[in-house]
Amino acid sequence: MKKTPQEIKITQRMQPGALTLSGFLGDDPRDFPRIIADDAKTLENLGVTAEEVGKRLDYFQKQSFESFQGPIIIDEIYEVETDVVRGFLPCPFMHRGLFRKAITKVKNLKSGKSFTFTSMNIHMIRAHGFFEGKGSKFRLEPEEVVRELFP
């Protein structure tokens, strides 16, 4: 199927070096609409929406922003720490606004599993249903992140 001019522009912005050093697609052979569709199907099977996942990630990041002394414990289950780097990023989907360069690490103390996400992940998941391509630096596997976020 032929890509629209907007899809071509978004794909260009997702490439390594365009907005971020490593890009958003990783080594995934799928195009971003297929990645979004596949991840949406996974979420549907799990009974969770992208908005719910994004909201939960946002909750952790906002809580940990308040702590300047290292990791904090949230909900008695999660150890969370956010590092903020100078600067902001635009959305590769050309969505208005800039997003803080912040990286949050969440460890589920019951399962021992951890994952890392960015402010941009929160936005792309909530607004676009995009968890990034397989092999990308900040790809969140929907099934895994849902298992850890909604025990």
Which residues partner with 114 through β-bridges? 107
Please report the pLDDT score of residue 54 as a whole number: 97
Please report the pLDDT score of residue 98 as a whole number: 93
Please check the confidence at residue 25 and state whether its pLDDT lies above 80: yes
- Give the model's confidence band at 151: pLDDT under 50 very low, under 70 low, under 90 confident, else very high: confident
Please report the pLDDT score of residue 65 as a whole number: 82
Residue 111 sits in which domain range?
A: 5-149
- What average pLDDT is seen over the chain? 94
Please check the confidence at residue 68 and state whether its pLDDT lies above 80: no
Residues 115, 143 contacting (CB under 8 angstroms) = no
Distance separating alpha carbons of residues 20 and 92, to the nearest angstrom: 10
Distance separating alpha carbons of residues 95 and 108, to the nearest angstrom: 32
The DSSP result for 3-19, as a single string, is PPHHHHHHHHHHSTTTS
Report the number of distinct structural domains present in the chain: 1
- Give the model's confidence band at 2: pLDDT under 50 very low, under 70 low, under 90 confident, else very high: confident
Please check the confidence at residue 88 and state whether its pLDDT lies above 90: yes
